[in-house]
Structure 1
Amino acid sequence: MPKLKWLFSLIVCTGLSSIAVPARGQALLPYIPKLNSEQLEQQGLQLLQDAVQLIKFQQYELALPRAELATQLAPNTYEVWYILGSLYVQQDQLDKGIQVLEKAEKLAPNQEGVLFTLGNAYFQQGNYQAALEKLEAGLQIKGDAPEALFDLGNTYLKLAQYQDAISSYEKAVSQEEKFWPAINNVGLVKYEQGDISEAMEQWQAALKIDPEQTEPQLALAVALYTQGEVDKGVELGEAALANDSRYAELQFLKDNLWGERLLEDTKAFLANPQMQAIVSRLKQETPADNSSETDLTP
């Protein structure tokens, strides 16, 4: 699942970047002032604003210490815990992130952003039932958040509740019609249900939105190959893996929610001598640190 880039974008664009900070006092005198709790809170909120601005430019490492200090200076403000928890989740410190986000939830139990982020963190942790509860709670407050609906669909998919997963993905697309990862994942579900033709239509629809995306390209290539269109499958598979060779790894595909049926067919596809030669060549050409972007799935 995304690292929380979509969430950080929401944070920056919808209010947390404009947290009210009390006006500063006069210039500092040349001695250490005695700060009262109100002054400390003011400094904490200013640090939080600084952290949000750094998040805006994806400077997460610099934002983290500011957010940590902000929680000490303004511990009764839910936003400081929310931002800090989100940063921990972004850096795969899931246990710390969940612990901090739970503090934010106690301070603001009906804040949908906190609930959505907790749901995302629980999903990455593998606690799908807890993820489901938090995401559903958040969507009761704000039901038109496409990224949260997508996360909910992924959670249902992991729980093998396929129709609920499709419903959540379709709701996400109804809110954002070019949200190709949700369309792509409907294809993943359809393939596991044995509806290969419908899965292919979904992947083709995703590629109409963004023709360069590796995941729907490779999934469509596997489906074509399985349907006997070997040359077309190999050609499309080569184009897909040229964009991102990580998709030649079955574990990477599993991490991106590919199901058992599709994984088995992909294994057979990659065992094709032509594909083996292509993968070998691409691995030699591609640096070990493949930093290209993937979709929003975990």
Structure 2
Amino acid sequence: MEKVSDAQVRQATVFNDQAIQLWQKGKKNEAIELWELAVEKAPNVAETLHNLGSAYLYLGRIEDALRCFQEATENDPELVEAYAKIGNIYQQKGDISTANEYWNRALQIDPSCQEAITNLEQFNTNRYDPENIPEYETPDNNLSLSNKDSSLITSSNLTLGQKLVGGISTLLGREKNTKR
């Protein structure tokens, strides 16, 4: 990549500021043109790349947004918002594992990154929603639970972990509160 002069960076910064004003006035296409020009003048200014990526994301240009956010993080490895948005894009694409990696990267940089926290909480709530986990029942393989109180493992007041421990212990014929 060609060295960018201070004058080019200043010019890109002016274009970035003007693009923000245009965006706020609803002139989205004009704003994007200015951001693209700013990136052309100074392709290593992470803030401009991030803003252009955000505009692309807003307009549904997912691949363009992803490219901008990735370039922004290459130029500023501490740009938390870009990592969070990359995670959001991978979530939209259905690649939850990669999304989690980027959200966690954002939290490594800034443990208070609300966007990453919210997305990780939402993902984990959807993935481990206790309302979607069937209650334990007597298995069909003739293992009897007749000498155990099955209400211990089906109570709605128990956490998923308690249900699992209680259910496994019951199936194995162990007492629920066995000390190790």
TM-score by length of 2: 0.64
Secondary structure of the structure 1 residue equivalent to 2:44: coil
Unaligned stretches of 5+ in structure 1? 1-35, 163-188, 196-298
C-alpha separation in 2, matches of 1:135 and 1:59 = 31
* 1:128 matched residue in structure 2: 96
Give the CA deviation at 1:59: 4.3
Give per-residue Cα distances to partners, 1:165-205, cap 9 Å, x unaligned: xxxxxxxxxxxxxxxxxxxxxxxx3532469xxxxxxxxxx
Give per-residue Cα distances to partners, 1:234-291, cap 9 Å, x unaligned: xxxxxxxxxxxxxxxxxxxxxxxxxxxxxxxxxxxxxxxxxxxxxxxxxxxxxxxxxx
Secondary structure of the structure 1 residue equivalent to 2:111: coil
More helix by share: 1
Secondary structure of the structure 1 residue equivalent to 2:43: coil
Q: Which amino acid aligns with 2:132?
A: E
C-alpha separation in 2, matches of 1:126 and 1:58 = 31
Q: Structure 2 residue aligned with 1:191, among 131, 154, 174?
A: 131
C-alpha separation in 1, matches of 2:59 and 2:23 = 13
Give the CA deviation at 1:152: 1.7
In 2 relative to 1, CA 52–193 (structure 1 residues): closer, same or farther, beyond 3 Å?
Answer: farther
* 1:110 matched residue in structure 2: 78
C-alpha separation in 2, matches of 1:155 and 1:88 = 24
C-alpha separation in 2, matches of 1:193 and 1:59 = 48
* 2:67 matched residue in structure 1: 99
Higher relative contact order (CA 8 A, sep 6+): 1
TM-score by length of 1: 0.40
* 2:51 matched residue in structure 1: 83
Give the CA deviation at 1:53: 2.7
Unaligned stretches of 5+ in structure 2? 136-180
C-alpha separation in 1, matches of 2:61 and 2:7 = 31
In 2 relative to 1, CA 58–122 (structure 1 residues): closer, same or farther, beyond 3 Å?
Answer: farther
Give the CA deviation at 1:89: 1.3
* 2:20 matched residue in structure 1: 52
Give the CA deviation at 1:156: 3.3
Over aligned residues, Cα RMSD in angstroms? 2.4
The number of residues matched between the two structures is: 132
* Aligned-pair identity (%): 25
C-alpha separation in 1, matches of 2:21 and 2:45 = 18
C-alpha separation in 2, matches of 1:80 and 1:58 = 18
Q: Is the 8 A contact 2:80 2:113 kept in 1?
A: no
Secondary structure of the structure 1 residue equivalent to 2:20: helix
Q: Is the 8 A contact 1:55 1:63 kept in 2?
A: yes
Q: Is the 8 A contact 1:94 1:125 kept in 2?
A: no
Map 1:1-298 → 2, pairs under 5 A: 37-57=5-25, 59-157=27-125, 160=127, 162=128, 189-193=129-133
Give per-residue Cα distances to partners, 1:135-161, cap 9 Å, x unaligned: 011012222233321112233356x2x
Give the number of the structure whose alpha-carbon radius of gyration is greater: 2
Q: Is the 8 A contact 1:88 1:94 kept in 2?
A: yes
C-alpha separation in 2, matches of 1:130 and 1:86 = 19
Secondary structure of the structure 1 residue equivalent to 2:119: helix
C-alpha separation in 1, matches of 2:123 and 2:5 = 42
Q: Which amino acid aligns with 1:154?
A: Q
